[in-house]
Structure 1
Amino acid sequence: MEEKKYYSIGQVSGICKIPVKTLRYYDEIKLLVPQIRKETSNYRYYSKEQLITAFMIRQFRSLGFNLKDIKEIISNNTMDYYLDSIYIHLNEIDAEIAELEKRRRENECLLERFIKGQNYLHDRVDEEEYKIEEIPPIHVLGSRSIIKSYRNEEVSLERWITINEEAVNLGLEIAGPIYVTFHTEMFGQFFSKDCDIEFSIQVKEDPSVNENIHSFGGFTAATAIYRGDYENIFKTYIALKRWIDENNYEICGDVMEEFLVSPIDTANVEEHITRIIVPIKEPKGKKKPR
């Protein structure tokens, strides 16, 4: 009868490319217990079958399996269980890839927004610039409520953080900035009174995903860029309203603000960039804007 061959821990380490320290750890957690252990020297010896098991462990580890799952695979030791485990693991990998791709898109979106804000800072001019723009249709996650004794200069950091966290907790993909819509007459938000306000954030998902997601945009607007400390934005509102009137446009919707670089993005108020958006329509016979 052929004598059964055993391998020392050093031999297993060399053949399977597993550090000795790791093999000792596998012994401690009962993942791979050597078949022979000499009590006097504590030397470990592994059988041929255990050598194969050691290689399997290394292979599954290299594929991303955790030790708990590997222990289950080895314990069951059937091809059917191997196949099921690999199918499950592939699904987990696909989910991880999808999450990483989502994170990349969100990072790209944030980068694009900050670059846009930085361009407004670097390209600033002494004279205010007003534009007529088409606001593209998007989807936003919104939260609308009556805020008691609201004053516009009192930046609602908590509400901005809350709407951002709500999107994250729902697993939504953030696709753009935060918007604040004032469901009141123009300038109403600047007086200390109850104000109907909606805080929203652009997301990729559509309204079928969540009841608080709705469409936004798809209209013509007069816009102005405000740079810096938010408490002085009132002057830009007045100037934009005057420009709208001088060019014979009519306001036809609620005023909103888009925060390209907001107070929850940076504490440096000099770098805050807000776009004021006023929905408008052209009366018949309107002259070209000056």
Structure 2
Amino acid sequence: MMKEKYYSIGNTSSLCRIPVKTLRYYDKIDVLVPSLRKEGSHYRYYSREQLRAVFIIKRLRFLGFSLNEIKEILKENKLDHMEYILKIRLGRLREEIEELKRKHNEAEIFLRNILSGKKYFSIDSDPEERITIEKRPEIFLYSRRKIMYSYRNEDVNLENWIQIIEDVRNEKLSVCGSIFVTYNSEIFGQFFQKDCEVEFAIQVENKCKDMDNVHKFGGFEAATLVHAGDYKDIFKSYLALKRWIDRKGYSIAGHSTEEFIVSPVDIGNNMMHITKIIIPVKKQ
């Protein structure tokens, strides 16, 4: 008679495709206590109703509910309560999906920048061979401006980079590009000025354009040069770019910006860093 009504822990494990050790753990924490224990041997036996409970537990675990939550759900065993907790869980799942999308986008950008950076090490070492005139596309940057006192350009301010990245993540914005630093001074001013207003920024999706601290960047013609290697040597690249601008009959039409394609927050090897210098220009 017992065999017709109850299932051993082994049979339950096989039928429900759940490890025996998991069933024993559920018993231990009172999530699913066997309906019957055989005297003397302490063998566990589960009822047909408990087999259904196992499938409910597996489904709820798949949906991400904790064992404590599942214990409460099984105890309540009412449609209204199930509706309530499922609506809450769906909200959390939507948030998790958005977070995964942001992580996926950031990982894609990270890989894209690494691949882009690698190709610059195969380009001619002569800086002028890496100079181009390009129409900068319009993008949107999340940024913070800060007066840097006694600022020296070679002292890359990692604290501000980290802060801008964390701000974007806290705002739950989707990063879709590099870190940008703009020096609101004359050309070379960031190397010699005692104080300098610096804008630290990171590219975000266009849909973020109406948010606070987000502004448009680009839509202008610029002379650009990719500096490959240690950032402390970037002044030489600036000099080469300035000489090229003058020789080609251009004039500077805006503040200089640096795009950190592969930066110190990407890889610790200074010789692997890739920085694009962007200087707006116009034909004289």
| Alignment match, 1:215 | 216
Q: Is the 8 A contact 1:16 1:58 kept in 2?
A: no
Between Structure 1 and Structure 2, the one with more helix by share is 2
Q: Is the 8 A contact 1:261 1:273 kept in 2?
A: yes
| Alignment match, 1:196 | 197
Asked if residue 52 in structure 1 is aligned to residue 52 in structure 2, the reply is yes
For the residue of structure 2 that corresponds to 1:232, the secondary structure is helix
Q: Is the 8 A contact 1:114 1:261 kept in 2?
A: yes
| Alignment match, 2:157 | 156
Structure 1, 54-63 or 167-176: larger mean CA deviation? 54-63
The Cα RMSD (Å) is 2.4
For the residue of structure 2 that corresponds to 1:254, the secondary structure is coil
**TM-score normalized with structure 1 length:** 0.87
Letter of the 1:257 partner, please give it.
E
The Cα of 1:169 is off from its aligned counterpart by: 2.5
Matches within 5 A, 1:60-209: 60-126=60-126, 128-129=128-129, 130-191=131-192, 193-204=194-205, 205-209=207-211
Q: Is the 8 A contact 1:256 1:278 kept in 2?
A: yes
CA change 1:249–1:23 in 2 (3 A) is: same
Tell me how many residue pairs correspond in the alignment: 281
| Alignment match, 2:260 | 259
CA change 1:195–1:77 in 2 (3 A) is: same
Percent identity between matched residues is 50
The Cα of 1:84 is off from its aligned counterpart by: 4.8
Structure 1, 59-68 or 262-271: larger mean CA deviation? 59-68
Structure 1, 89-98 or 179-188: larger mean CA deviation? 89-98
Q: Distance in 2 between matches of 1:3 and 1:134?
A: 79
CA change 1:62–1:227 in 2 (3 A) is: closer
Structure 1, 81-90 or 24-33: larger mean CA deviation? 81-90
| Alignment match, 1:287 | none
Q: Distance in 2 between matches of 1:212 and 1:219?
A: 21
The Cα of 1:39 is off from its aligned counterpart by: 5.4
Deviations 1:192-213 (A, max 9, x none): 501111111111252423x112
| Alignment match, 1:288 | none
CA change 1:15–1:231 in 2 (3 A) is: closer
Q: Distance in 2 between matches of 1:62 and 1:131?
A: 53
The Cα of 1:78 is off from its aligned counterpart by: 3.1
The Cα of 1:62 is off from its aligned counterpart by: 4.2
| Alignment match, 1:12 | 12
Structure 1, 17-26 or 180-189: larger mean CA deviation? 17-26
The Cα of 1:86 is off from its aligned counterpart by: 4.3
For the residue of structure 1 that corresponds to 2:173, the secondary structure is coil
CA change 1:274–1:3 in 2 (3 A) is: closer
**Contiguous gaps of at least 5 residues in structure 1:** 284-290
Letter of the 1:189 partner, please give it.
Q
Letter of the 1:54 partner, please give it.
V
Q: Distance in 2 between matches of 1:168 and 1:97?
A: 15
The Cα of 1:168 is off from its aligned counterpart by: 2.0
For the residue of structure 2 that corresponds to 1:154, the secondary structure is coil
CA change 1:46–1:178 in 2 (3 A) is: same
For the residue of structure 1 that corresponds to 2:150, the secondary structure is strand
**TM-score normalized with structure 2 length:** 0.88
